[in-house]
Amino acid sequence: MTSNAPASGQRKTAATIEGDPRERPEPAVLCVPGTESLLSDVALKHMDRAQGWYRRGGRIVQLGKDDADKPMIVPVSAPLFAARMSSLVRWQKYNKEGDVVECGIPKGIASAAFEAGHWPTLPPLVAVSDVPVLRPDGSLWQTPGYDQKTRVFYAPSIRMAPIPARISADEAHAAMMRLVDLVCDIQFEREEMRYVWLSAIAAIVFAEACHPQPAHLFTAPQPGTGKGLQTQMIAQVALGKDPPPFHFPLVHPDDKRASDREEEQEKRLAMAAVSGVRALFIDNVPNGAWFGGPIFDRFVVAEDTVPIRILGRNDAWIEVPWRTPFIVNGNHVHVPNDSRRRVKEAKIVPTCSNPSQRPLSMFKYPLRFGFCLQHRAAILHDLYLVVCHHAQNGFARTHERPDVSNFERFQRVITDAFVRAGGLDPSLCILTVEDTLSGDEQLVGCAMRVLEKLGAHANGSQKEGITATMFLEGVWTSEWLQSLKDNRPAFESDAVMDAREVFTANWRLQSSKRPGAKAISSRLGDLCGRVIHGAQVWPSDDPSGFQNAEWRIAQHIDRKNQPRYTLVPPRGT
C-alpha cells in the first residue's frame, strides 16, 4: 500500500502529468468498497469536464451529423459514457498486494451516474441549429457555439451573409417581395395563402423566438398541383435537405380503433421530442383522410416542454423540450373541429386539368430541381432581413389580426414581421370551426349540400325533389367517369369531390365505380329526418341563404312510385 493514496472519493492533484492527458487525466479517485454512493456523487460532480456533453429530456446527449452532413442531437450510449468517464477521472483501487493501481470507472458507479436522470453540471440543450438563432428578446446569436440564453447550439453548415445591425424598411420590403416571387407560378385559392410556406419556414428557423407554432397544411383537389413541392421547398430552405418523412397514424372521428391509433401517435411524437427533430413532415396524407385530434392538439400548443411517458414504464413521465412544427400536405384533408383553429391551410388551385404535365418552360424558377437548396443562403438571408427588421422595431404590433390565443407569440414575431415588410397576413388562413363537420353530421351535411345545389328545395328548380338517379349523377358525374377511363384527374369543384369522398368512405362504396341507384336510395332514406343546424352545413359566406335555419331531408313517393328527396325546414317551423 502506498502512503500517498488519496482518500475514498477525494481528489488528489499530481504535481506534473506526463504523456497524453487522456491516458493520465486528473483528478484521481480511490474506489473503496462501501463508498459507492459517494463515488457516484463524485462521478456526477466531475461530468462538467466532459466537453460537448449536454442534458436533454432525461438523457445525456452530444452533437453529431446526419447523412446530409447537417448537425443533429445524438444520445450518449452507456458504453461511451463509461469509456469517457474513465478518461476524465483517474479511477484507482487497491490490488491484492495493497498497492493503489489505475482502473476504469466501476460498472456499478458508471451505471448509477448514467441513469441518474439529472446531471446538474451538464448544460441543458434544447436544439441544435445550422443557422443564426433569434432570441425571444429580438437579439440575434450569430457566434458558432452554445447560446446560454436560448440553450441552443449554433453549428453553421452554410455561409450566410451577416445580418446588418440596422435594416431599413426598403430592404425588408425588397426581401419580402423576392421571397413571395419564388411561388409566383403556383396558384392559391386566396392571396394570403401565398405566404403560408414562408410562415412554415419561419416556424422552424425562428422556433426559439416564436413557439408554439400552428401546424401548416397544404391541400389541393387533385395530385400534381404543387403541395408536395411546397413542403420540399420548406425543408430545403429551413433544414438544408429534402423533407425527412414522418409517419403519423391518422384517426377518423368514427374509428373503432381510435384509442390504439392515438396511443401510437403519442409514442411517435414522444420519439420525435426526445430526438430533437426540427420539424415533422407528414407527406401525402391519404385522399379525404382526417388529420388532427387530441394528441396533436396537446403537442401543437405546448409552450416550452411536453410530458411524455418513458417507453416500457407507464408510471414514469419526463418533460422534454418541444419546438417542433407540423408540416402536412395531402388532397382533400379533413381536420376535426377541435383542431381546426390550430391549423393554417394553403389551398392550391390547379390551373389546368392535368397540372403534373405542365412543361418546365412555364415556370420562372426550376423549383423541382433543387433550386431552393442551391440558393438556400440567399433565401434565408432575405427571411432574416424581414424578421430581424421587425425585431429591431421591438416586435411592435402592425395591424389588427385574428385572435389566435394559443399562438400570440408567433403572431407577434412572424405574422407582424410579414405585414411590416409589405406582405399579407398568413394567420387569415387559420381554419375556422364552422367549415367542417365530423362523423354522421358530415354525411348528412354533404347530402344536404348536394340537394341544395341540385335545386331540391322550395325555391329551387326541382321543387318536387330529385330521384336517387339524379342525386347519383350530381355526385358521380360524367366528367368523373370519363376521367377514370382516360386515367387522369377529374377537373371538378371541391364541393362535388368532397361529397363523393364522404359518401364513398361512410357508405363503404367502391372508389373507382359508380354505385347503383337502389344502393343510393336506401342510404338516402336513412338520412331522412335528421336535423343539423344550417350554420354548420353552409359556410357563413355561402350566397344560398340557407345559413340561419335548420333543415332536414324529406322523402316522398311520386306518381311513378319512385322515392324523391327534397330539402325542407324541420317540422313546426
In whole angstroms, give the CA distance from residue 337 to residue 435. 8
List Cα–Cα distances, 357 to 35, 224, 370, 385, in angstroms.
74, 8, 19, 36
* Predicted confidence (pLDDT) at residue 21 exceeds the cutoff of 50: no
Residue 131 counted as domain residue: no
Cell 412544427 locates to: 325
* Predicted confidence (pLDDT) at residue 546 exceeds the cutoff of 80: no
Q: What is the reported pLDDT for 455? A: 87
In whole angstroms, give the CA distance from residue 231 to residue 328. 8
Which residues is 217 bridged to in the sheet? Answer: 328, 345
Any residues with CB less than 8 A from the CB of 368 and at least 6 apart, and which?
Answer: 229, 360
Cell 423576392 locates to: 178
Question: ∠ at Cα 542 (497, 550), nearest 5°?
Answer: 95
1, with CB counted inside 10 A (0-12, 13-18, 19+), is exposed
In whole angstroms, give the CA distance from residue 209 to residue 203. 9
Quickly count: other Cβ atoms within 10 Å of residue 116's Cβ: 17
Which residues is 566 bridged to in the sheet? Answer: 554
Based on the domain organization, do 72 and 179 belong to the same domain?
no
Range of the domain at 101: 28-114
Any residues with CB less than 8 A from the CB of 62 and at least 6 apart, and which?
Answer: 52, 53, 54, 73, 74, 76
Calculate what percentage of the chain has a pLDDT beyond 70. 86
Amino acid at 55: R
Number of structural domains found in the chain: 3
* Predicted confidence (pLDDT) at residue 192 exceeds the cutoff of 90: yes
Residue range 289-307, pLDDT digits in tens: 788 888 999 999 998 899 8
Looking at residue 356, the DSSP 8-state letter turns out to be G
What are the phi and psi torsion angles at 102 (to 5°)? -75, 145
Residue range 49-104, pLDDT digits in tens: 888 999 998 899 999 998 888 999 999 999 999 988 888 888 888 888 888 888 88
How high is the mean pLDDT of the chain?
84
Any residues with CB less than 8 A from the CB of 263 and at least 6 apart, and which?
Answer: none
Q: In this predicted model, which residue has the larger pLDDT, 492 or 114?
A: 114
Residue 199 counted as domain residue: yes
Of the candidates 77, 93, 114, which is a domain's last residue? 114
Mean pLDDT of 493-498: 77
Out of 52-56, 111-115, 436-440, least confident range: 436-440
* Predicted confidence (pLDDT) at residue 531 exceeds the cutoff of 60: yes
Cell of 572: 313546426
Residue 157 counted as domain residue: no
* Predicted confidence (pLDDT) at residue 447 exceeds the cutoff of 50: yes
* Predicted confidence (pLDDT) at residue 6 exceeds the cutoff of 70: no
Mean pLDDT of 315-342: 85
Mean pLDDT of 522-538: 70
Whole-number CA gyration radius for the chain: 30
Q: What is the reported pLDDT for 567? A: 86
Any residues with CB less than 8 A from the CB of 516 and at least 6 apart, and which?
Answer: none
Residue range 330-346, pLDDT digits in tens: 887 878 777 888 999 99
Q: What is the reported pLDDT for 255? A: 64
Based on the domain organization, do 294 and 174 belong to the same domain?
yes
Longest dimension (CA), the chain: 115
Amino acid at 190: R
Residue 70 counted as domain residue: yes
Residue 510 counted as domain residue: yes
Based on the domain organization, do 446 and 511 belong to the same domain?
yes
Looking at residue 539, the DSSP 8-state letter turns out to be -
Based on the domain organization, do 253 and 402 belong to the same domain?
yes
Residue 403 counted as domain residue: yes
Out of 281-285, 340-344, 352-356, 390-394, least confident range: 352-356
Element (H, E) at 523: helix 517-527
Q: What is the reported pLDDT for 463? A: 85
Q: In this predicted model, which residue has the larger pLDDT, 419 or 445?
A: 419
* Predicted confidence (pLDDT) at residue 107 exceeds the cutoff of 70: yes
Of the candidates 374, 406, 434, which is a domain's last residue? 434
Is the CB of residue 63 less than 8 Å from the CB of residue 127? no
Nearest by Cα to 414 from 243, 212, 235? 212
Nearest by Cα to 384 from 128, 146, 138, 126? 138
Question: ∠ at Cα 418 (412, 422), nearest 5°?
Answer: 135
Max avg pLDDT among 161-175, 307-321, 460-474: 161-175
Based on the domain organization, do 305 and 215 belong to the same domain?
yes
Any residues with CB less than 8 A from the CB of 504 and at least 6 apart, and which?
Answer: 288, 510, 511
Based on the domain organization, do 281 and 378 belong to the same domain?
yes
Based on the domain organization, do 71 and 100 belong to the same domain?
yes
In whole angstroms, give the CA distance from residue 466 to residue 81. 74
Out of 20-24, 126-130, 181-185, 234-238, least confident range: 20-24
In whole angstroms, give the CA distance from residue 75 to residue 399. 44
Calculate what percentage of the chain has a pLDDT beyond 90. 37
Out of 2-6, 331-335, 359-363, least confident range: 2-6
Residue 477 counted as domain residue: yes
195, with CB counted inside 10 A (0-12, 13-18, 19+), is buried
Based on the domain organization, do 426 and 445 belong to the same domain?
no
Any residues with CB less than 8 A from the CB of 200 and at least 6 apart, and which?
Answer: 216, 234, 238, 325, 327
Residue range 207-251, pLDDT digits in tens: 999 999 999 999 987 777 888 899 999 999 999 999 988 988 887
143, with CB counted inside 10 A (0-12, 13-18, 19+), is exposed
Based on the domain organization, do 283 and 295 belong to the same domain?
yes
- The alpha carbon of 556 is separated from its chain's Cα centroid by a whole number of angstroms, namely 49
Residue 139 counted as domain residue: no
pTM (predicted TM-score): 0.75
Based on the domain organization, do 290 and 184 belong to the same domain?
yes
Based on the domain organization, do 385 and 442 belong to the same domain?
no
List Cα–Cα distances, 548 to 143, 327, 499, 544, 552, in angstroms.
59, 35, 22, 11, 14
In whole angstroms, give the CA distance from residue 449 to residue 523. 16
Of the candidates 409, 434, 459, which is a domain's last residue? 434
Is the CB of residue 209 less than 8 Å from the CB of residue 134? yes
Based on the domain organization, do 416 and 470 belong to the same domain?
no
The three-class DSSP label of residue 411 is: helix
- Count Cβ neighbours within 10 Å for each residue of 420-431 and write b for 16 or more, e otherwise: bbbbbbbbbbbb
